[in-house]
Structure formats: structure tokens, C-alpha cells
Amino acid sequence: MTRIVERFSNSVRDIENTWITLGDGTRLAARIWMPEDAGQRPVPAILEYIPYRKRDLTRPRDEPMHRYFAGHGYACIRVDMRGAGDSDGLLTDEYLQTPELDDGAEVIAWIAAQP
């Protein structure tokens, strides 16, 4: 039997959609779960960078997991890759340096630059 924990030591802020603008102007869609006070107290981040669309079939399974980590002091960022889900661009093939890996490096830099 699966048990979903819903009480945490931190209040969780859920941002349904935010845009990460890449150097070439492409916008990647992201959903963020984080402790309510993360803007005043930096927290580590967990990145899920996926071609499977953040609002698709895996959402009901993944949402409690990200909320759980955020409730325990982590920022969780689920990002639709270029051309997938709500993100701009064209999804070409897997594991290409450009754009997938380069975009991922930009996403990590974006996360590191957040307060």
C-alpha cells in the first residue's frame, strides 16, 4: 500500500509554470516546488529535465515526490525539454550536445543564479 506524506517541516510553495529563457531566446517551461522561505534561505535544488511533459501522465505519480522533497528543504524543478510539453522549440533526438545537453547546462546555471 502506498502512503502519501502530506505534512512536512517546511511549508511548500508550488509554482505551476515559470519560464527559463535560454541564450538563444528559447523558453523552457518549468514547474517548481520549494520551501516557502527559500527566497530568504537558499536551499539545494533537484532538477528533473525531461521530454515527457511536466503536465502529462507522470504528473500524479511525480507531484507527491517533488512536494515531499520541497517539504524537507529542497527546491524541485521539473523542466520540459526544448520542443516538449509547454517549452518552445523542436524536440529532435536524444542526448545530442546541441540542444539537449547545452540547454541542460543553461538550466543548471539558471537554477544556480536564483536567490
Place of cell 519560464: 19
pLDDT of residue 115: 87
pLDDT of residue 114: 94
3-state DSSP percent of the chain in helix, strand and coil, to 5: 25, 25, 45
- Smallest CA-to-CA distance from 79 within 40, 106, 44, 43 is with 106
Q: How far is CA 73 from the centre of its chain?
A: 15
Kindly report the backbone phi and psi dihedral angles of residue 106, in degrees, each rounded to the nearest multiple of 5, phi listed first. Answer: -65, -40
What is the residue extent of each domain of the chain? 12-113
From the options 3.40.50.1820, 3.30.420.240, 3.40.50.720, 3.30.460.20, give the CATH code of 12-113.
Answer: 3.40.50.1820
Task: Please check whether residue 43 is in contact with residue 11, taking contact to mean a CB–CB distance below 8 angstroms.
Answer: no
Q: How far is CA 42 from the centre of its chain?
A: 16
- Smallest CA-to-CA distance from 48 within 19, 79, 75, 69 is with 79
pLDDT of residue 2: 65
pLDDT of residue 71: 94
Residue type present at position 15:
I
- Smallest CA-to-CA distance from 79 within 18, 29, 44 is with 29
pLDDT of residue 52: 77
pLDDT of residue 28: 97
pLDDT of residue 95: 67
18 three-state secondary structure: strand
pLDDT in tens, the chain (115 residues): 666 667 777 899 999 999 999 999 999 999 999 999 998 999 999 999 988 777 777 778 888 899 999 999 999 999 999 998 899 998 887 767 778 899 999 999 999 999 8
